[in-house]
Structure 1
Amino acid sequence: MKKNRILLGVLALSATLTLFPAASAVAEEIRVPVGTQADRDQANVPGTGMSQASVRASWGAPLEIQGPVGQPPISQWHYPTFVVYFENDRVIHTVLKHNR
């Protein structure tokens, strides 16, 4: 008896989804490759391998410094339009800030 109720429930659900396909969810996936999320060619940002002294000489003092933390020591220098990540005293990555 219990098997019949389960079977009827499955059939009813199947019929509902067949009759009302709009009831099922539909989503669109948009992929944006990381390299095309910002026009890095026109961005004047510190390059990988630059020293902290050369970054400070070219862009001035940062608005905020976080770190260093961890091993190897990683620190962040925050500027108005980008954040520079250092390992020891060398740039390992620069991230552009989102324009609001």
Structure 2
Amino acid sequence: MRILPLISLTAALTAPVASHADVLLLDSINRAPPNSSAGLERPAGGESMETVLSRYGEPSRRVAAVGEPPISRWVYPQFTVYFEHSLALHSVVAR
């Protein structure tokens, strides 16, 4: 019967840590620049590699595709673009 108080104590001590981590995550998301003219413009999902290349120029580094479906990435100084086949999935601001 001494196990129940131990479980209760463990739960009580770990609950504040989990809720604090959620707040930190939300804070970092809110600080990221939006994908608009007011923030850092970067490729949107669905853009082709050709469109990204013509709008943003040659990336500083191209990382080869891995996995199935093949996911590749182009690294620019201010952001990284992730592609599935030849379409942009997402772009991430460099920190």
Instruction: Tell me if both proteins adopt one fold, taking TM over 0.5 as the criterion.
Output: yes
Bigger helix fraction? 2
Identity of paired residues, percent? 32
- Which residue of structure 2 lines up, in the alignment, with residue 12 of structure 1? none
- Which residue of structure 2 lines up, in the alignment, with residue 94 of structure 1? 91
- Which residue of structure 2 lines up, in the alignment, with residue 29 of structure 1? 20
- Which residue of structure 2 lines up, in the alignment, with residue 39 of structure 1? 33
1:53 to 43, 50, 55: 50
Unaligned stretches of 5+ residues in structure 2: 1-15
Shift of 1:94: 0.3
Instruction: Spell out structure 1 runs of 4+ moving beyond 2 A.
Output: 26-30
1:29-60 Cα distance to aligned partner (Å, 9 max, x none): 25142641312141100000000000000000
- Match status 1:78 vs 2:75: yes
Unaligned stretches of 5+ residues in structure 1: 1-25
- Which residue of structure 2 lines up, in the alignment, with residue 9 of structure 1? none
How many equivalent pairs are there? 73
